[in-house]
Amino acid sequence: MLEQKTISRQVKLNVQIGRGRYGEVWVGKWFDKEVAVKKFAFCDKESWTREREIYETDMLRNEYILTYLAADMYEREFSSCLEMWMVTDFHEHGSLFDYLNQYSLSEYHMIKFARTTASGLAFLHMDLRTRDSVKPCIAHRDIKSRNILVKSDLACCIADFGLAVRHDTVKNLIDIAPNSKQGTKRYMSPEVLGETINIDDFTSFKNSDIYSLGLVLWEILRRCLVDGECLEYQLPYHERVPGDPSIAEMKTLVVDEKYRPEIKKRWVDSSEACSAMASIIEECWSPLPEARLNARRVEKNFSDVDVKRPPYS
């Protein structure tokens, strides 16, 4: 492992590829390897610290979780400004949001996106024990298409752990004081919007991630080609709320009206894969958190969908 504070000197930044809520994401070269560098603004030190703690959790490595390489904090020369970096694998396709905006999907790739995302989430949610090490259960708390990346083989991986919480199952302790209203308003679960979430029970956070996963799966489903056609990309609830909805607007819609994004009859009638996808989605966004599927079940249900790989892909 390279010593801290040397990485930022070794990485050559090329171009800026993204901008999140607080920072910038760049693509760069670390020796021969192409890497992504997320730079955090100083005001977001908390999120850098948290994301780093999560990535440095024992046994977190998984093909459907973004691969972390290093974190670094250093003082810029000639100024007292602190810069915080997070270095990870770079994925050329960018986020699932970017990908879905550009491309439609075959049934095969729709199921692959859905299954690999659910598998990454299932891995995150579960605990793992070996003789000398424990991987705690982790809830993400900001699942959305912008926080999922598309790899070159068109598998997805989960990224952006700035809001995640860990649970020690033996001591039954959550590792930070969880604020009940975290995340992106559009994707907040009914229990987060309505403040009915039981923050003393870690399962509540997992159930809340599953609701958000349901919305992401719906975004994927819209882009699947059925008889050569698909719908244009849209964010969930696009037809009912403005670009940056308030919590009050989301609460009226999702909690009071129990409104959910539309599942087109055409998808269910003409494609077995889309029909399976639709029923899984409906079990993810149930108003009752305990009625939702768990992530491992979602993954298994997708593994059971029989879709043929299209030729030349």
Q: Which residues bind ligand ADP (CB under 6 A)?
A: 17-18, 20-23, 25, 36, 38, 66, 88-91, 94-95, 98, 146-147, 149, 159-160, 162
The CA dihedral of 258, 261, 266, 267, to the nearest 10 degrees, is -110
Minimum CB distance to ligand ADP, residue 86 (Å): 8
Residue 301 φ then ψ, to 5°: -60, -40
Return the one option of Mg ion, ligand ADP, none that residue 155 interacts with (CB less than 5 to 8 A, by type).
none
Question: Residue from 28, 94, 162, 236 that binds Mg ion (CB under 5 A)?
Answer: 162
> Which residues are catalytically annotated?
142
Residue reference for tokens 């159930």 = 207
Nearer to Mg ion, 183 or 190 (CB): 183
Q: Does 23 bind Mg ion (CB under 5 A)?
A: no
Using the 8-state DSSP alphabet, how is residue 289 labeled? G
Characterise 5 by phi-psi region: left (phi > 0), alpha (psi -120 to 50), beta (else): left
Contact 124, 158 (CB under 8 A): yes
Query: Could you tell me the two tokens for 120?
Result: 């990454």
Q: Does 145 bind Mg ion (CB under 5 A)?
A: no
Q: Is 39 annotated as a binding residue?
A: yes
CA dist 61 and 206 (Å) reads: 19
For residue 90, the partner it binds in Mg ion, ligand ADP, none, with Cβ less than 5 to 8 A by kind, is ligand ADP
Q: Check residue 88 for interaction with Mg ion (CB under 5 A).
A: no
Following DSSP, what letter does each residue of 202-229 receive, concatenated?
Answer: THHHHHHHHHHHHHHHHHHHHTB-BTTB
Which of Mg ion, ligand ADP, none is residue 98 near (CB under 5 to 8 Å by kind)? ligand ADP
Least separation in angstroms between CB 17 and Mg ion: 13
Residue 21 or 129: which CB sits closer to Mg ion?
21
